[in-house]
Amino acid sequence: MGVVLVIFTVALFVTAVSIPWVRRLAVHLGFVDAPAQRKLHAAPMPLLGGLAIFGGAVIALIAFSGQLPSSVGGVLLAMTIVVLVGLLDDWLGLPAWAKMGGVLLASLVLILFDIRVKLPIPESVNMALTLLWLLGITNALNFLDNMDGLSAGISAVAVSLMLLLGLVNDQFLVSALAAAVLGATLGFLRYNFKPANIFMGDAGSLFLGFLLALLGLQLRFPDNVSFVTWMVPVFILAVPIFDMTLVVVSRLRRGLSPNTPGKDHTSHRLVQMGYTQREAVLIIYLITGATGMVAIFITQATIPEGYVIFSIALVLAATAIWRLEKKWDEGVRT
């Protein structure tokens, strides 16, 4: 517990202290996000916040690498690949297939270090689920980075739940990774919550999505069966999953590519309902916390309890998407 606390503190301090320097570097190098009709900021915004998040987390982990399992080397390599891909996208604007190709490469590195889905099913299915999970969650957090403080805050809430579960179940690698990411996101959030003066860019959103997906893969619950506990990371990350599903369904229904930029995310729709941007972000934080509480219950749930709750959640999510799309259509007509 003491080492985990120190890792958290180091990541928090390094990230918070480095942000002003990284911000100046971003402006000097031209890593800025220019205003556009689909965006909410009115002035060019430095983009290298993700580099500070990555640096804070990695420095904290490297400082205690001697106490971590050997698989941390694979994790650090995979993390670096993802961040480099994100930096290239922030600089050059990579096509979606190139970004996902980089994430796929990082995912294969994790599999080489035996970090993957381990359900009692055929190995080929486990491998496919591993890649689907890593690519899907990474992309979901990338989608979610659309409002000041949103992606970093949701990541902080989700990873704090994973930290708690890692500590309770004596998973030191999960706890160390979660503590590093939590410290780094909180250090960054100080400068990113509205009104933000720096963005994390794709380097940050891809990094956070990949790490959250990785932690979800590594969580283990010896007091329950995997036939139920596979739902735990799904509920912890329910908000990013829901938001990406909503956006993809909405854009496909309107004949658009899922990668088409737009103000049709959950956060944008809350603002359209009359909430301020801060209120919308805080509401989504609360929803993430609520689904996280459900995840904690699932760790001890019986098989019938788990699948009843999961079924109810699917019905509620489908109903929410239908109602939000109906409101969207009404707004277009008016």
Per-residue pLDDT of 92-108, as tens digits, reads 888 889 999 999 999 99
Q: How many domains does the chain have?
A: 1
pLDDT, position 332:
56
Cβ atoms of 89 and 202 within 8 Å: the answer is yes
The angle formed by the CA atoms of residues 216, 218 and 224, to the nearest 5 degrees, is 90
Mean of the pLDDT values across residues 60-84? 87
Cβ atoms of 12 and 183 within 8 Å: the answer is yes
Q: What is the pLDDT of residues 293-331, one digit of tens each?
A: 999 999 999 999 999 999 999 999 999 999 999 888 776
pLDDT reading at 333 higher than 60: no
What's the pTM? 0.92
User: In whole angstroms, what is the distance from residue 99 CA to residue 45 CA?
Assistant: 22
Helix (H) or strand (E) holding 48, with range, is: none
Half-sphere exposure of 37 (CA within 13 A, CB side): 2
Domain that holds residue 241: 2-333
pLDDT, position 334:
46
pLDDT band at 37 (very low <50, low <70, confident <90, very high): low
pLDDT, position 36:
55
